[in-house]
Structure 1
Amino acid sequence: MVLLTEDIWSFNLDAAWQEISGQRREYALKYRTELDRRLCVRAYLLLCEGLRKGYGITSVPLFEFGKYGKPMLVGYPDIHFSISHCPEAVICVLDDNPVGVDIELVSSFDEQVARYAMNQEELRQIKSSSRPDVEFACLWTRKEAVLKQSGFGLSDNVKEVLTAHPLPVETFISRNLHYVYSICRADCNL
């Protein structure tokens, strides 16, 4: 199940504080800006919505964390999820198999950052694209989704992620070209 929303500013944050777990509230309050707090809370609310709709779970979820920090649901080891957000949207993916998702704003192409994160073939792909900024965002979200699905996070060699971990990834570009997201699932049924 994929849940995506651009509703960052119109939901009632004051009411939402009462709907989320103390664990998530404490985590969200560590953010300094209202935008970051809203994104954190909105992502959690999407997870709650997905658990209700897909699994009939109405209790507020608590997290435990894997070796590299991947969150898992306490008491529900067979339900996998991944959440991500950028300033314009929040996404949550739930599945019966390990899953990873990443969403990023499309921003101006920075060749120095690309050289750090991309291998030679990916750099060629970006430079030959009519929209290097969008192509970079697509590749970056694909890499992060794979790393989140595997549970390794960015601790892996980011340049070789897609070749070292050949997992199925589907990438989507928003209609307005403002953001890109990628979903990686362990199974091949995207």
Structure 2
Amino acid sequence: MNSPAGDRPTNGGAPKGRPRSEAVERAILEGAMKLLEEGVPFAELSIERIARTAGVGKAAIYRRWSGKEALFVEVLRAAEPPEPPLPGTSMRDDLVVLLESLRRRGLANRGSAMLYTVHAQMKSNPRLWEEYHSTVVAPRHELTRQVLRRGQRDGELRTDLDLELLSDLFMGPMLVRAVMRPDGELPDLLAEEIVDTLLTGLRPPATPDP
């Protein structure tokens, strides 16, 4: 199928002087989602099939993504809620917001057959997992470390603790509940409970009055 008018490549690249069409990009993502919702396995989700479903040419996809792994990750990003803005009032408050975002992702995944299928297929594809990890998981992990680093700087957290380990300690319980235990409860105040429980033993000792 030919590319839509105005979106044809020029000399093998993107049209010069023209911004990429948001409508075309949205059509591609929705086409991929439609196929996933219909239960098409990732191995059968070819660029040709996605392009045909979206009503665009293959070149329109390759101008935006390097291949179906990168497109697949973008589908996940589009289907999940965006990263939340952090209040910045304290390390504790920022951690609660980050964990609450993971809790909501867990609830969304459970309520979406498409997302459940996507995550299940992703686990069996090393290249896809690597792409997802580098573009979604790693930035989220680094954001958590930044919050913890500020907490150490501001005296909210002991400075003798390893930030990599701390990030796993805070995020791990929520990830286990949200991803590894589909039947695990995700109550409204779970994020606060996890953060406050851990901070009880991680705050610096109180300085005695002179």
Q: TM-score, normalising length from structure 1?
A: 0.28
Higher-Rg member (1/2): 2
Q: TM-score, normalising length from structure 2?
A: 0.26
* Between structures 1 and 2, the one with greater strand share: 1
